[in-house]
Structure formats: structure tokens, C-alpha cells
């Protein structure tokens, strides 16, 4: 049985992170808290990241214990099933504190997988 490729999931994560960065630019937390459109778009990007993380191979996740993969996957459930929107400061911390490491890991894994003959 051939192992499932993580390329689509990694690509989705990297693209979503890049789009979140493009939406936020150098927006301050104060401005972000007042801009429902930015919050909405960031929430959607986080949902995409969450869903894509579920499609990554367990071996890939095991190579990167510094990423809390269960939390990455779980935030999507919170966003999808919470009647209230997530507080802007929580989203802000999520994308500013966690995004750089996640992007770095996923971009590197994507390069490795794209070079691999089985990707």
C-alpha cells in the first residue's frame, strides 16, 4: 500500500498562512479588533490550516513534535462549532505566535516531499 502524499495538505497550509499574512500586513491588534472583515478572513484561513493538518501523514507530524498538531486540528472544530466568534486577541496570538514556526516546518516538508519520487 502506498503512503498518502502530504503535498496537498502542506500546500494548503503554506498558502493559507501566506494569505493570512497578506490580509494582516502590519495591522495592529487594536485595528484588527475593530475590523470584522479581517477577523473573518483570518478565521477562514485558520479553518483551512486546521483541516489540511488532518490530512498530513503521521510520520511527518512525528518528525515535528514542536508543533502541537492536535491543537492545530482542534482549533478548526472550535471555529466551526462555536456560536460566538473567537475573540480577536486569541486569533491574533494564534497567527502571530504560531504561524511562523508552522509555515517554516510545512514549507521545508513540502520541499522534501516534492523532491521525493513517491510524492
User: How high is the pLDDT of residue 117?
Assistant: 66
Angle between helices 36-54 and 69-81 (to 10 degrees): 130
The residue extents of the domains of the chain are 7-113
User: Is the pTM above the cut of 0.85?
Assistant: yes
User: How high is the pLDDT of residue 41?
Assistant: 93
User: How high is the pLDDT of residue 24?
Assistant: 92
pLDDT tens per residue across all 119 residues of the chain? 345 689 999 999 999 999 999 999 999 999 999 999 999 999 999 999 999 999 999 999 999 999 999 999 988 888 877 756 678 888 888 888 878 899 999 999 999 988 876 64
User: How high is the pLDDT of residue 1?
Assistant: 39
* 3-state SS, one letter per residue, for 53-113: HHCCCHHHHHCCCCCCHHHHHHHHHHHHHCCCCCCHHHHHHHHHHHHHHHHHHHHHHHHHH
Amino acid at each position: 500500500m502506498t503512503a498518502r502524499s502530504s503535498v496537498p495538505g502542506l500546500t494548503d497550509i503554506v498558502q493559507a498562512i501566506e494569505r493570512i499574512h497578506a490580509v494582516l500586513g502590519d495591522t495592529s491588534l487594536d485595528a484588527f479588533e475593530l475590523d470584522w472583515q479581517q477577523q473573518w478572513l483570518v478565521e477562514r484561513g485558520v479553518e483551512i490550516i486546521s483541516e489540511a493538518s488532518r490530512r498530513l501523514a503521521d510520520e511527518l507530524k512525528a518528525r515535528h513534535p514542536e508543533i502541537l498538531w492536535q491543537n492545530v486540528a482542534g482549533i478548526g472544530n472550535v471555529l466551526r462549532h462555536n456560536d460566538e466568534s473567537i475573540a480577536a486577541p486569541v486569533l491574533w496570538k494564534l497567527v502571530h505566535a504560531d504561524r511562523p514556526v508552522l509555515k517554516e516546518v510545512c514549507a521545508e516538508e513540502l520541499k522534501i516531499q516534492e523532491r521525493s519520487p513517491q510524492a
